[in-house]
Amino acid sequence: MSYVIAAYGITGLTLGLYAFHLLRSRARERKTLVGTQESNNG
């Protein structure tokens, strides 16, 4: 049973962390983009 938990646990944790990383990076990029636009607009 521990092997099954390990396989599903590693998969779930990795994909969950990857999803979190993508969402956080997207939010950061959007924030930077808004900052650049405001700076371009003077």
Residues that bind another protein (CB under 8 A): 1, 3-4, 6-8, 10-11, 14-15, 18-19, 22-23, 25-26, 29-30, 32-34, 36-37, 40-41
Query: What is the nearest approach in angstroms of another protein to the Cβ of residue 9?
Result: 10
Query: What is the nearest approach in angstroms of another protein to the Cβ of residue 40?
Result: 4
Query: What is the nearest approach in angstroms of another protein to the Cβ of residue 30?
Result: 6
Measured from the Cβ of residue 14, the count of other Cβ atoms closer than 10 Å reads 10
Q: Cα(36)–Cα(28) distance, rounded to whole angstroms?
A: 12
